[in-house]
Amino acid sequence: MMPPNEGNRHPPLASAERLGCLFIGLACPAQRRVPVAELFRWSKAMRATFRVVIVSSFIFGACALSSALACSVPHVATAAEITAAADVILLVRVPDVTITNISSIEMIVVEVVKGEFKSKTVIVHGQTVRYDGPNDGTVPYGFVRPGGLHGDCYASDYKAGGQFLLFLRGGDVHWSPLAATNEEVSGPKDPWVVWVRDRLKAR
């Protein structure tokens, strides 16, 4: 004799197969219907899995992009090298204005530290809306500040109203990648400015 309800027993469907049957609104042939609660449990598990996959893909892509954007050069010029190679070294003040995109900034010349420069202003390309901060190294600086550690290896971010020591060559501060050619300083007595002055006097 067949046990009670033996005829109603059917092997369980795989989750995807059961879900497909339910979505088209039909009962699976010779199979039991899927309880709604079970469908919700499966749906929540799948959503969690998709979230993990999406987040993992985003992190992987961000890391790959970061590696691609990080710059690298065979040699970073030292403080002594940029001091010797610069045509003109200027202590300047950035205008206290917001400049969103990289464009021409007319900076006021506070002091001509090296070379001949008769103009009271100098044009430098950069922006002031986002400043990544001053150099966190020690004087003499052997490396660029945070704003130049990515992209084209040059810092183009400036603090509105701040003072910077510019090392110009051919009229541009962007001539020695990853070098400290446009660092923020506190003024004429800043240790970086004093070091450069002393270096020039010793030559």
Per-residue pLDDT of the chain (203 residues; tens, 9 = 90+): 555 554 444 444 444 444 444 444 444 444 555 565 555 565 555 555 545 444 344 343 333 334 335 688 899 999 999 999 999 999 999 999 999 999 999 999 999 999 999 999 999 999 999 999 999 999 999 999 999 998 899 999 999 999 999 999 999 999 999 999 999 999 999 999 999 999 999 98
Q: What whole-number distance in Å separates Cα of residue 198 and Cα of residue 93?
A: 22
| Count of beta carbons in the 10 Å neighbourhood of residue 95 | 15
Find tokens 């040059």 and name the residue: 154
Would you call 60 helix, strand, or coil by DSSP? helix
